[in-house]
Structure 1
Amino acid sequence: MSLLFFKRVLANPLQVGYIVPSSPFLTRQTSRRLDFSKPRVVVELGPGEGCHTRKIVKRMDKNSRLFAFELDEEFVAHLRKQFAHDPRVTILHRNATEMPDVLAEHGITHCDYIVSGLPFLVIPEEARGKLLGSISDAMHEESRFITYQVTTQLCDESHLFELHDKEYCALNVPPINVLEFKKAQAAR
């Protein structure tokens, strides 16, 4: 665990959401779900210090794009420095509820993948509803929303998402579910 991550957890534990960064097992399990056989648009929500971001960027082809939404200013500065020389990566100090508008500002109507470890369980209900609506609005029928969560609570959001696949990653602290959703028929 980096000193930056430790400091940010102490400063705002609910916003960071986890007490340690994701394990290499989890980052591999998550990133292998993204198909880069052609150019893709990927959105990452709450990248923190960037352990999933680095794994995704390694797999991206030269024409893919990654938009990372992060609220913590220190994580944003760290990520901007880390990916300063990679034109495929855009680090945004913006709220993910603005995702469809931000993508539109970049000439993009929908993304192919949304990757998130945001702790949906602790996000207040109204904010969680806005965030999940924003995620759904940024997807098309082929898009995938890949999230790692302690609970399977998001499976209850069937008006927005349909569970496409589910795995369990025991080799993470805490052990965690990797959930892959597609946009629900009713939300299309």
Structure 2
Amino acid sequence: MESHLNTTLTRSRRSLADRASRTFGKFGVFFRGFMEEPGMVGSIIPSSRFTINRMLAPVDWDNCRLFVEYGPGVGTFGDAVLAKMRPDAHYIAIDTNGLYVDYLKDSIDDPRFTAVLGSAADVERIVREHGHEHADYVLSGLPFSTLPDGVGPQIIRATHDVLRVGGAFLVYQFTAVSRDLMRARFTRIDSGFEPLNILPCKLFWGWKDAE
């Protein structure tokens, strides 16, 4: 009985998600992805332009050759990043949800952009496979508080290792869990807060300084 109820609820949720994606376009796709994997999507609503601008403000675009994003969703940050990037720079977006990856491949027509189906924990391998040794900046909206046990620290460790010296890990969250995890590898973390977002969110920039 319980199994049948769970199956019915799952089908109902998927039906709702499908209708939303068809009716509301980009935002419908975002909502559908949230409904399918709520534990892997940070919010039911994409980030505001205020959050985007503040999060990207410290980036030195003139010296950014590779920008990586975890959990890009439907590309909320994509246009802003591509508008600021150098013509010869590259942007790799990594997501575990094939729905989002397919949407990004279909909707972003820019040779500098690559959408990858995979885990942020494998960022070092993904970066190497795309012809790079290091990333200059890594952006993440992953919900560290709901990731499976052990995955958060693994992502933090891999991110620190893949960054060049002087690069930064840019994180936006509703809680401070990510900052607490970042402290294990990043000795310098700047913090901010953006109230003009649904929900208001915490911003963190972890800098990779020379040892």
Query: What's the TM-score, normalizing by structure 1?
Result: 0.91
State the AA in 2 paired with 1:173.
Answer: I
For 1:118, which of 142, 152, 162 is the aligned residue? 142
Distance 2:95 2:128 in 1: 18
Pairing 1:183–2:203 present: no
Cα shift at 1:39: 4.3
Task: Please say which of residues 57-66 and 6-15 is displaced more in the overlay.
Answer: 6-15
State the AA in 2 paired with 1:112.
Answer: D
Distance 1:174 1:67 in 2: 26
8 Å CA contact 1:40–1:111 kept in 2: the answer is: yes
State the AA in 2 paired with 1:100.
Answer: E
SS at structure 1 position matched to 2:197: coil
Task: Please say which of residues 101-110 and 72-81 is displaced more in the overlay.
Answer: 101-110
Distance 1:19 1:39 in 2: 30
Cα shift at 1:8: 1.6
- In structure 2, relative to structure 1, the CA distance for the partners of 1:81 and 1:44 (3 Å cut) is same
User: Partner residue of 1:53?
Assistant: 78
User: Partner residue of 2:48?
Assistant: 23
| Larger helix proportion of the pair | 2
State the AA in 1 paired with 2:66.
Answer: V
Cα shift at 1:184: 6.2
User: Partner residue of 2:115?
Assistant: 91
Q: What percentage of residue pairs aligned between the two structures are identical?
A: 28
User: Partner residue of 1:131?
Assistant: 155
Q: What is the aligned-residue RMSD (CA, Å)?
A: 1.6
* Aligned positions, number: 185
SS at structure 1 position matched to 2:150: helix
CA offsets, 1:28-76, max 9 Å, x none? 1112222212342100000001111221111111011101001111111
Larger Rg: 2
Query: What's the TM-score, normalizing by structure 2?
Result: 0.82
Distance 2:133 2:155 in 1: 17
CA offsets, 1:113-147, max 9 Å, x none? 00000011111231112111111111122110000
SS at structure 2 position matched to 1:51: coil
Task: Please say which of residues 157-166 and 170-179 is displaced more in the overlay.
Answer: 157-166
- In structure 2, relative to structure 1, the CA distance for the partners of 1:20 and 1:64 (3 Å cut) is same
8 Å CA contact 1:158–1:184 kept in 2: the answer is: no
For 1:2, which of 27, 30, 34 is the aligned residue? 27
8 Å CA contact 1:44–1:68 kept in 2: the answer is: yes
CA offsets, 1:10-34, max 9 Å, x none? 2221111211111111111112222
Instruction: Map 1:64-79 onto structure 2 (within 5 A).
Output: 64-79=89-104
